[in-house]
Amino acid sequence: MTSFISGNTIFLAFISTLCSADVITMGQFMIYRPIFCAPLLGFFMGDVSIGLWIGMIVEMIWINAAPIGIAVPIDVSILGILSTFWMCKYFKGLHEAAIWGLVLAVPFAYLYRLVDIFGRDFNTKLMHWIERRVQNGEYRYINIGIFVGVFFFIVKTFLFYVFSMIVGGWIYRFIYLELPTFVLKGFQKAWYLLPVCGFGMVMFNFRKIKRLFKH
């Protein structure tokens, strides 16, 4: 059963989509945070520990990456999910492979940010369509609009995950096998050094929170 799930990219892409939908579309239960979604993927792929460590690194370094107002930061769930997926699928248990996954996941997170902005623009058009319907007294189109918005989000995120898990996986595996030894050794060191940087980022953020409460 575990091998069937870990090999089933479509299923894992769907689970990842549900996690990413939590960012704004539904709930905000924080299942999109990497400390939860990376171990979740790790659980399905048979290695919770590595997923947890990746999630912890991403959570600390990108601790202040949350959509506030009109700001659209990179989706941190993508970083945790993609790196855990690639590592567990191709080089299970290797710390350097997990760090290489993180290195490669950042450009994918930026790519997704563009897709997300496109989706929010599409929502504006949908909102105008709903407004015209409401002017005609057709209120059921509010529900239909919300359903279409959620559906469109899920479809675009799902397709993105399928694309990045498969195409990104090829790139990931191909480049990793060509990496020189000293780079891999550097990644091994980064596995233990990145949490230290995460603590540095958190210490810096304390200053910002304190300023928030002063006002």
Q: Does 159 bind other proteins (CB under 8 A)?
A: no
Can you tell me whether residue 46 is helix, strand or coil? Answer: coil
Q: Quick check: 39 and 55 in contact, CB under 8 A? A: yes
Q: Does 175 bind other proteins (CB under 8 A)?
A: no
**Of 14, 43, 90, 163, the one binding other proteins by CB under 8 A:** 43
**Of 7, 93, 175, 205, the one binding other proteins by CB under 8 A:** 205
Least Å from the CB of residue 137 to other proteins:
5
**Of 5, 15, 31, 115, the one binding other proteins by CB under 8 A:** 31
Contact set for other proteins, span 62-121 (CB under 8 A): 62-66, 68-70, 74, 99, 102-103, 106, 120-121
Pairwise CA distance, residues 205 & 207, whole Å: 5
Least Å from the CB of residue 9 to other proteins:
22
Q: Does 35 bind other proteins (CB under 8 A)?
A: yes
How many residues appear in the chain?
Answer: 215
Least Å from the CB of residue 200 to other proteins:
3
Size of the site for other proteins (CB under 8 A): 81
Least Å from the CB of residue 151 to other proteins:
10
DSSP 30: S
Pairwise CA distance, residues 8 & 49, whole Å: 21
Reported as half-sphere exposure (CB side, CA atoms, 13 A), residue 166 has a value of 10
Give the distance, in angstroms, between the CA of residue 134 and the centroid of all CA atoms in the same chain: 35
Nearer to other proteins, 137 or 178 (CB): 137
Q: Does 1 bind other proteins (CB under 8 A)?
A: no
Q: Quick check: 122 and 25 in contact, CB under 8 A? A: no
Task: Write each residue from 112 to 131 as x if it is in contact with other proteins (CB under 8 A), else as -, in one continuous string.
Answer: --------xx-xx-xx--xx
Q: Does 187 bind other proteins (CB under 8 A)?
A: yes
Least Å from the CB of residue 89 to other proteins:
20
Q: Quick check: 93 and 47 in contact, CB under 8 A? A: yes
Sequence-distant (6+) residues with CB within 8 A of 211 are none
Nearer to other proteins, 9 or 123 (CB): 123
Q: Which of 60, 47, 59 shows the shortest CA–CA distance to 87?
A: 47
